Structure 1
Amino acid sequence: MTQRTWLITGISSGFGRHMSEQLLARGERVAGTVRTLSSVDDLKARYGDQLWLARLDVTDTPAIRGVVDAAVAALGRIDVVVNNAGYGLFGAAEEVTDEQITQQIQTNLIGSIQVARAVLPHLRAQGGGRILQISTVGGQAAFPGASLYHAGKWGIEGFADALQQEVAGFGIGVTIVEPGGARTEFRYGSSQLAPRIAAYDGTPASMARRMLEERKAVPPGDPARMVELMIASVDQQPAPKRLALGSDAYTAMQRALSARLAELEAQKDLAFSTDFPA
C-alpha cells in the first residue's frame, strides 16, 4: 500500500485521536492539529517524523491557511483531509449566550469551511484527494436542547453537499460522516452546557441538560470501529456522499428523513399550484 498523508484537525481526543493512532500504526503519515501540543506528546515520542504537528485554533482563519501551507511544504502533499475539530453545545436556543453561539458557529461551521477552502488549491494542483467532513446524526435529525449544535452541523452538511458537486471534476471526493453516539470524550468531556433558564425545566429541551448533568447514558458506538470504516471509505470509488455510523444514527436519520419526505409529498399539489400557468 502506498503511504498516504492525512491532515486531521483536532487529534488530541475523540475520533481525531483514534484515527491518528490507527493511521500511524499502519505506517501512514499524519499532519495533526491540536490546541495544545503537549496533549499528543506520547504519539510524537512513538512515531517521530511520521507525525507532523501544528498548534491550531480553527476559529483563526489566517492561521488555518498558514498551517495547511506549512504542512504541504513539509510533507510534499496531502492526500486526505479530515475536518474533525469541533464540540457540542447543549441547551435551549434562549438559554445559550451570545458568546457561546459565536464560538460554536465559528468552530463547527466556519472553521470547517475555511479548512476545506485552504486545502482545495493544493488538492487541485496535485490532481485530486479526499475530504472527510465529520458531522453527526444531528446533521440530519434534530433534537430539542441542541438547536445551536444543529445549526452548525446542518450548515456544514449543506456546504459539503454542494462542495461535492463543485470539486468532483478535479478528482476530489467529499464524504460527510454521520456518527451516532460514541464512547469518546465528546459527550461528557468537551461538550458545553448553556446557562439554565428555569422556565425550560421539564420541557423537551431539558432532556439534553439532564443527560449531560447525570452522566449516566452510555453511547452505543465503538469509536475505534467507526474510525476503521471512515478510513476504509477513502478507498471507495467514487467517494460515498454520506457515511452513517451507529444503530442510533441510522434509526434516528431514517425516521427523520421518512417524515420529511412524507410531509413534502403531501404538499405536491400545493407546491405546483404556485407556478405560472403553462
Structure 2
Amino acid sequence: MERRWLVTGCSSGLGRALAVAAARAGDRVAATARKPAALEGLVREWPGRITPVALDLRDAGQCEEAVRTAVERLGGIDVLVNNAGSGLFGAVEEVTDEELREQLEVLLVGPWRLARLVLPLMRAQRSGHIVNVSSLAGRVAVPGLGAYVTGKFALEGMSQVLQGEVAGHGVRVTVVEPGGFATGYGTALAEAAHRLPAYQESTAAMLGGFRTMADNPGLGRPEDFAEAVLRLVRAEPGGPLRVPVGADAFAWLEAAERAAAEELAAARALVAGDAQH
C-alpha cells in the first residue's frame, strides 16, 4: 500500500531520515523546510517520490499552502508527521515573553494548525494518521529547557485529547518520544538573549551535553528513528498513544514513572495528614 506523507522539518536530522525511509519504502512524501533549497538533494535522489514544500510553521498562510500543495501533488494525505522543531535554552527567569511565544509557535501552534488543516481530509476518507514528534522532554523536565519542555508537554496533552476526538472517524494519533539521537539539535539550540549568572551551576552541564549531540557515538542514528516511525505507521490500529524511540528512551521514562508514583504517594500522605488535623 502506497502512503502519502506530509513531513515537516526535512532539511536535516530526523525529518530528513524519515523522508528518505518513506520514499525508499515506495511511498510519496511532501517534505517541508523553511528553505526549500535544503531539499534539492532529496528531490534529485528520489524524483517523483519526494516533493519539496516551503514551510515556516509560524506562518499560517504557508501552512495552508503546504497542505494544499501536498494534496495537489500527491492526491491526498495519509500521514502527517509534525516533526519540525527548534530549541531555546534558558532558565524560566531568563526567557522573555517574546522568546516563549516564538518557541510555542513552532512546537505547539504550528502542529495544532496542521492537524486542523488535514483533519477534514482524513475524516472524509475515514482514514489517516497524525504523528506528533515530541521528546523525552515531553514527560521529563530538563533544567534550562523550560520553554521547550513546556511546548512538548503541551503537544502531548493536545495529542491525547485529539486521539479521543478522532478515533471514531478512523483517524489515528501517535506521539513519538525520541531519546538521544545524533542530530544537529544541540548545535542549533538557541540561548535566551539575557542569561543570568545565578543559573550557571544548574544549567551549564546540560547545555554542554546538548552542544555535543551531533558527534556523540553513543546516541541513536536518525535512520533508526525513521524505521521505527515506519513500523508504527504500518502497525494495526489500536496501539499505544505514546511510543518512546531510542536505546535510552525507555530507561528515562521508566525512571520518570517511578518518580511520579513516589510523588503521588507523598502527596496522598501529605493530604491525608492535613485532613487529620
For normalisation by structure 1, the TM-score amounts to 0.90
SS at structure 1 position matched to 2:46: helix
Question: What one-letter code is carried by the residue in structure 1 that aligns with 2:263?
Answer: E
Q: C-alpha separation between the residues in 2 aligned to 1:141 and 1:255?
A: 9
Matched with 1:161 is: 160
1:270 positional shift: 6.7
Aligned residues: 272
Question: What one-letter code is carried by the residue in structure 2 that aligns with 1:49?
Answer: G
1:211 pairs, out of 199, 209, 212, with 209
Q: C-alpha separation between the residues in 2 aligned to 1:94 and 1:232?
A: 41
Q: C-alpha separation between the residues in 2 aligned to 1:199 and 1:111?
A: 33
Q: Which runs of 5+ in 1 are unaligned?
A: none
SS at structure 2 position matched to 1:85: coil
Q: Which runs of 5+ in 2 are unaligned?
A: none
Matched with 2:119 is: 120
Quick check: 2:181–2:213 contact (8 Å CA) kept in 1?
A: no
The range that moved more, 6-15 or 96-105, is 96-105
Q: C-alpha separation between the residues in 1 aligned to 2:180 and 2:162?
A: 26
Matched with 1:94 is: 93
Q: C-alpha separation between the residues in 2 aligned to 1:139 and 1:87?
A: 14
The range that moved more, 33-42 or 58-67, is 58-67
The range that moved more, 57-66 or 11-20, is 57-66
Q: C-alpha separation between the residues in 1 aligned to 2:73 and 2:247?
A: 40
Question: What one-letter code is carried by the residue in structure 1 that aligns with 2:102?
Answer: Q
Q: C-alpha separation between the residues in 1 aligned to 2:109 and 2:90?
A: 21
Identity of aligned residues (%): 37
Q: C-alpha separation between the residues in 2 aligned to 1:228 and 1:54?
A: 23
For normalisation by structure 2, the TM-score amounts to 0.91
Q: For residues 208-256 of structure 1, give each alpha carbon's deviation from its aligned partner in whole angstroms, at most 9, with x where no partner exists.
A: 2333457797252222112101111012222431111123222221111
1:265 positional shift: 3.5
Q: For residues 4-61 of structure 1, give each alpha carbon's deviation from its aligned partner in whole angstroms, at most 9, with x where no partner exists.
A: 1111011111111001111112221001111111101111122223222221101112
- Aligned counterparts, 1:222-237, within 5 A: 222-237=221-236
SS at structure 1 position matched to 2:172: strand
- Aligned counterparts, 1:59-208, within 5 A: 59-188=58-187, 190-195=188-193, 196-202=195-201, 204-208=202-206
1:159 positional shift: 0.2
- Aligned counterparts, 1:5-24, within 5 A: 5-24=4-23
SS at structure 2 position matched to 1:141: coil
